Chain A
Amino acid sequence: DVKVTQSSRYLVKRTGEKVFLECVQDMDHENMFWYRQDPGLGLRLIYFSYDVKMKEKGDIPEGYSVSREKKERFSLILESASTNQTSMYLCASSPVGQGAGNTIYFGEGSWLTVV
Chain B
Amino acid sequence: QKEVEQDPGPLSVPEGAIVSLNCTYSNSAFQYFMWYRQYSRKGPELLMYTYSSGNKEDGRFTAQVDKSSKYISLFIRDSQPSDSATYLCAMKRGAGNNRKLIWGLGTSLAVNP
Contacts and interface: CB of A to CB of B under 8 A. Distances in A.
A108 B49 contact: no
Contact of B105 (A4, A40, A103, A104): A40
A12 to B, nearest CB: 16
B51 A42 contact: no
A27 interface: no
Contacts of B1: none
A105 B42 CA distance: 12
Interface string B97-113: 11101011110000000
Interface residues on chain B, size class: 20 to 34
A107 interface: yes
Contacts of A4: 43
Given A40-B105, A42-B103, A103-B49, A109 B41 contact: yes
Nearest to B106: A42
A6 B110 CA distance: 27
A74 interface: no
11 contacts: A31-B97, A31-B98, A41-B105, A43-B103, A50-B99, A96-B97, A99-B51, A102-B95, A103-B34, A106-B43, A109-B42
Interface string A76-105: 000000000000001010101011101111
A106 B36 CA distance: 10
Interface in B54-113: 88, 95-99, 101, 103-106
